[in-house]
Amino acid sequence: MAQGLDAFAAHLKRSTDVMGEFRSEPFYQTETDTLIFYFRDTPSYEKRITKYLTIFLAVEDDSLVGIEIKGIKVIMMAIQNLGDVPISEPIEVKDEDGELIHMSFVMHFALGFEQLEAISGTQYEQLRDQVKEFRVRRSDVCPA
């Protein structure tokens, strides 16, 4: 049963009370088909680089805070078309090896080579370093 805004406010308060220390962890959101990845817990605003890639910059000093890769299904299908890529597993992001696509590979698809100039060299190096340990599991929503 749905509750109203008072319950929502109570939830936000309680969530804040029980939250632990910040942990940098990617998150795939099915509804929007986006992969959201915050590297730090600091107020941020978005900077849209391409239709598939947005970065988050700190309000305080414009330093890199996170990344959002959009249209993951399209990107995964494009990667799949490059070769023999199994698609039996749902999309997920993990920090372990296996039959997972490197997240940096996915990021570069989203960024596009022409757009490399749209972000600074420092931002690009930080993005590359932040995502290099993560892998994206192929989705069973991609057609065979």
Partner 1 sequence: MNPTATEAALWEFPGKSPSGVVNKLFTIKPQSLLDHLQATGNHSKLNEAWHIPDICSNPNGIWRGLDRVGQEEAYCYVGFPTGEFAKKHGVNVEIHSGLVMLVFTDPELVVTKWRLCQPDKVNQSWPEGHDTRFGERIWPKD
In sequence order, which residues have a C-beta less than 8 Å from that of residue 42 and are 6 or more positions away?
Answer: 58, 59, 60, 65
Which residue, 125 or 140, is less far from partner 1 as judged by CB? 140
Could you tell me the smallest distance in angstroms from the CB atom of residue 135 to partner 1?
A: 18
Which residue, 1 or 144, is less far from partner 1 as judged by CB? 1
Which residue, 6 or 96, is less far from partner 1 as judged by CB? 6
Distance CA 109, CA 53 (A): 9
Interface with partner 1 in residues 29-68 (CB under 8 A):
29-34, 36, 38, 41-48, 51-52, 56, 59
Any contact of residue 9 with partner 1 (CB under 8 A)? yes
Which residue, 59 or 116, is less far from partner 1 as judged by CB? 59
Please give the full DSSP string across 72-96, using - where no structure is assigned: HHHHHHHHHTTS-----SPPEEESS
* CA distance between the termini of the chain: 39
Distance of CA 3 to the CA centre of its chain: 30
In this chain, which of 64, 67, 74, 137 binds partner 1, going by CB under 8 A?
A: 74
Half-sphere exposure of 18 (CA within 13 A, CB side): 6
- The residue ranges that bind partner 1 (CB under 8 A) are 1-9, 11-16, 18-25, 27, 29-34, 36, 38, 41-48, 51-52, 56, 59, 70-71, 73-74
